[in-house]
Amino acid sequence: MKYLLTFFLFIVFVFVLQAQEKQFSVRNISLPPELSYYDNQFSGLQVADSNLYLMSESRLEDNQEAKLYSIKLVDINSKLRDTAYVLPYKKIKIIGLDKLRATMEEEKQVYEGLEAFIIDGQTVYFSVETNTPSTFCYLLKGKFSDSIVQLEPTMTAVRKPRKPDGSSIYNAGFEALALIKKRIVAFYEYNYFEQNYVYCYKTTLNKNRKDSLPVDKLPFRITDITPIGNNHFTAINFFFKGEGGDTVYRVPASDRINNTLIKDGANYHDFCRLIDIEYNKKHFSWRPLWTIPAEYTGFNWEGIAAWDNGYFLMNDKYTLKRPYYSALLYIK
pLDDT in tens, 174-204: 999 999 999 999 999 999 999 999 999 999 9
Select from 2.120.10, 3.30.310, 3.40.50, 1.10.3470 the CATH code of 35-331.
2.120.10
Mean local confidence (pLDDT), 9-32: 70
- How many percent of the chain have pLDDT more than 90? 90
Mean local confidence (pLDDT), 302-323: 97
For residue range 218-237, list pLDDT tens digits in order.
999 999 999 999 999 999 99
Q: Provide the residue ranges of all domains of the chain, joining segments of one domain with +.
A: 35-331
Q: Quick one: pLDDT band at residue 17, thresholds 50, 70, 90?
A: very low
Inform me whether the pLDDT recorded for 131 exceeds 80.
yes
Inform me whether the pLDDT recorded for 10 exceeds 90.
no
Q: What's the residue count for the chain?
A: 332
Question: d(Cα 169, Cα 166) in Å, to the nearest integer?
Answer: 10
**Mean pLDDT of the chain, nearest integer:** 93
**Helix (H) / strand (E) containing 305:** strand 301-307
Inform me whether the pLDDT recorded for 15 exceeds 90.
no
**Helix (H) / strand (E) containing 47:** strand 42-48
Gyration radius (Cα) of the chain, Å: 20
Question: d(Cα 124, Cα 147) in Å, to the nearest integer?
Answer: 13
pLDDT number for residue 5: 45
Question: d(Cα 124, Cα 144) in Å, to the nearest integer?
Answer: 7
Cα 265-266-269 angle, rounded to 5 deg = 85
Inform me whether the pLDDT recorded for 87 exceeds 70.
yes
Q: Quick one: pLDDT band at residue 1, thresholds 50, 70, 90?
A: low
Residue of 177, 145, 199, 173 lying closest to 44 (CA atoms): 177
Mean local confidence (pLDDT), 285-289: 98
Is pLDDT larger for residue 4 or for residue 292?
292
Mean local confidence (pLDDT), 155-176: 96
**Torsion angle, CA of 206/109/186/251, rounded to 10 degrees?**
-150
Beta bridge partners of 100: none
- Burial code (b: 16+ CB inside 10 Å, e: under 16) for 71-89 equals bbbebbeebeeeeeeebeb
Mean local confidence (pLDDT), 8-28: 64
Inform me whether the pLDDT recorded for 217 exceeds 80.
yes
Residue of 292, 249, 216 lying closest to 258 (CA atoms): 249
Q: Quick one: pLDDT band at residue 43, thresholds 50, 70, 90?
A: very high
Residue of 80, 130, 94 lying closest to 110 (CA atoms): 130
Distances (CA, A) of 148 to 51, 123, 144, 301: 15, 12, 6, 26
CB-CB neighbours of 138 under 10 Å: 25
